[in-house]
Amino acid sequence: MPTRLSPRLAAVVNALPLQPHSRVLEIGCGPGAAARAVAARLTTGHMLAIDRSAAAIAQAEAAAIDEITSGRMSVRQVAGEDFVLQAHEEPYDIVFAVRVGALDGRHPEVGQRVLQRIAAATMAEARLFIDGGDPLRELLIPRT
């Protein structure tokens, strides 16, 4: 069953440069509606949805049983500033976040830690998108 998205989330998902093989990370997935919509567009790719909230992850997991069972999606309870790749986990090539204070300037100190974690978990050519543009704006992933 297709995921019903608000017009705003639909615009965000439609603006992402997704390919069927993309490895996508969503930071702050909430109940996972956008993550499910992304997973629906993947064939050999993978969507990982993370959130610091156990309740949000439980909601996302319950709503995404088909996507998780198919292997196109997984969820993990972890804060963006604590995210690390697990053993044998491939890096991601697209990262997005909607209404995440650490990335939209509301919490700059935490934001720097999140950007460092994103840099460590992504391929060199990876791209990071947040809301606040029309409908997205791209942030530079700092590479040292």
User: Which pLDDT belongs to residue 2?
Assistant: 55
Give residues with Cβ within 8 angstroms of 97, minimum separation 6. Answer: 26, 27, 28, 80, 103, 128, 129, 130, 131
Residues 11/129, Cβ–Cβ less than 8 Å: no
Average pLDDT for the chain: 95
Residues 71, 61, 37: CA angle, nearest 5 degrees: 65
Structure tokens at 58: 């439980």
- Domains in the chain, please, with CATH? 7-139 (3.40.50.150)
**Distances from the Cα of 143 to the Cα of 35, 117, 122, angstroms:** 26, 11, 10
pLDDT digits (tens, 9 = 90+) for 73-132: 999 999 999 999 999 999 999 999 999 999 988 999 999 999 999 999 999 999 999 998
Q: CA 71, 69, 100, 121 torsion: positive or negative?
A: negative
User: Which pLDDT belongs to residue 144?
Assistant: 73
pLDDT digits (tens, 9 = 90+) for 41-76: 999 999 999 999 999 999 999 999 999 999 999 999
Cα(68)–Cα(123) distance, integer angstroms:
23
* Residue 92, Cβ density class (10 Å: 0-12 exposed, 13-18 middle, ≥19 buried): buried
Q: For tokens 């491939």, what's the residue? A: 90
Give the model's confidence band at 1: pLDDT under 50 very low, under 70 low, under 90 confident, else very high: very low
For residues 91 and 134, the model is more confident at: 91
pLDDT digits (tens, 9 = 90+) for 18-46: 999 999 999 999 999 999 999 999 999 99
Partners of 78 in beta bridges: none
Structure pTM? 0.96
